[in-house]
């Protein structure tokens, strides 16, 4: 069964959706959309370093994401606004990454596959990496779920409960870096932030609890991946962008459902 490229593509899309769903909820709750996009852009530099040093792309992406988080902390500590620091780091990392990939000698690189994904080319090794990364992200978030929720709700309440909000932010950054690394093959670095944000935002009108929102986000993300894959094959369109378009359509649908749902005025 794994010899079917469509079956491997479907499994890859589901794996990324399951990893991105709960993490995307925290990105929405914490208003970290720009940080998620900056991490995705920095992944290009991680890819360039991985190719230059002949090491795993996941290791390179996670290392660059961690370095970006430390650089962001240093810049904001020196008085730079958060959005300014993120903009400088994101676009600089993307530019240096693209230049670095172009200078990599002896390696044939399909740059479009890294930018927009190539889910139809996913192999068995890629599947192992994607599902291993997804399991790591889900396990990490499940382990720290309550602490992450508390620090998201109120840093003061987290301190009062004996929780270090800075540590939880670092855990969230690590999970985000891993998700970006495993999602590169599916939707590419330019669309990863969309797969994080849109299913989580689409789940909000359907959920009444944080856990419910995470579950709905997983369902919507999985439906987007499978539906986008099918539509792209039927219409002969790029698969990664089609997956994001499908997620956007589901966002509109759940928004309409939320607007039509009777509100509890009691």
pTM given for the model? 0.84
Whose tokens are 């290791």? That residue is: 59
62 — pLDDT class (breaks 50, 70, 90): confident
Q: Tell me if 247 sits within 8 A of 202, measured CB to CB.
A: yes
Distance of alpha carbon 215 from alpha carbon 90, whole angstroms = 30
Taking the domains of the chain in order of start, what are their residue ranges?
A: 5-190
Distance of CA 109 to the CA centre of its chain: 22
Residue 265 clears pLDDT 60, i.e. is over it: no
Residue 57 clears pLDDT 80, i.e. is over it: no
Distance of alpha carbon 193 from alpha carbon 90, whole angstroms = 13
Across 76-95, average pLDDT: 78
pLDDT in tens, 203-245: 999 988 999 999 999 999 999 999 999 999 899 888 888 999 9
Query: Phi/psi at 209 (nearest 5 deg)?
Result: -135, 160
CATH 1.20.1560.10 fits 5-190, yes or no: no
Q: Tell me if 71 sits within 8 A of 53, measured CB to CB.
A: no
Angle, nearest 10°, between helix axes 33-53 and 192-203? Answer: 150
Whose tokens are 């690394």? That residue is: 181
Instruction: Identify the weakest region by mean pLDDT among 12-16, 65-69, 137-141, 193-197.
Output: 65-69
173 — pLDDT class (breaks 50, 70, 90): confident
Give the CA diameter of the chain. 68
pLDDT in tens, 99-114: 888 777 666 666 777 7
Please provide the average confidence, as pLDDT, over all residues in the chain.
Answer: 83
Looking at per-residue confidence, does 108 or 164 come out higher? 164
pLDDT at 203: 93
pLDDT in tens, 18-43: 888 888 999 889 887 777 778 888 88
pLDDT at 105: 63
Residue 149, token pair as written in the block = 């929720």
């Amino acid at each position: 069964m794994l010899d079917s490229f469509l079956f491997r593509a479907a499994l890859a899309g589901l794996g990324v959706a399951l990893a991105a769903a709960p993490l995307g909820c925290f990105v929405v709750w914490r208003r970290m959309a720009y940080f998620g996009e900056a991490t995705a852009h920095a992944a290009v530099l991680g890819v360039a370093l991985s190719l230059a040093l002949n090491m795993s792309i996941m290791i390179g992406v996670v290392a660059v994401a961690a370095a970006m988080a430390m650089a962001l902390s240093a810049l904001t500590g020196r008085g730079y606004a958060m959005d300014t620091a993120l903009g400088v780091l994101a676009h600089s990392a993307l530019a240096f990454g693209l230049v670095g990939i172009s200078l990599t000698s002896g390696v044939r690189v399909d740059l479009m596959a890294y930018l927009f994904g190539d889910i139809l080319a996913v192999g068995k090794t890629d599947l192992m990496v994607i599902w291993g990364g997804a399991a790591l992200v889900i396990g990490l978030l499940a382990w720290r779920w309550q602490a992450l929720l508390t620090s998201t709700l109120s840093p003061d309440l987290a301190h009062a409960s004996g929780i270090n909000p800075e540590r939880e932010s670092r855990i969230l950054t690590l999970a985000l870096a891993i998700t970006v690394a495993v999602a590169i093959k599916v939707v590419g670095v330019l669309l990863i932030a969309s797969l994080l944000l849109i299913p989580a935002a689409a789940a909000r009108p359907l959920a009444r609890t944080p856990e419910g929102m995470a579950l709905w986000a997983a369902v919507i993300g999985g439906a987007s991946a499978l539906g986008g894959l099918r539509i792209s094959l039927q219409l002969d369109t790029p698969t990664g962008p089609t997956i994001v378009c499908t997620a956007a359509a589901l966002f509109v649908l759940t928004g309409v459902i939320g607007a039509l749902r009777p509100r509890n005025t009691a």
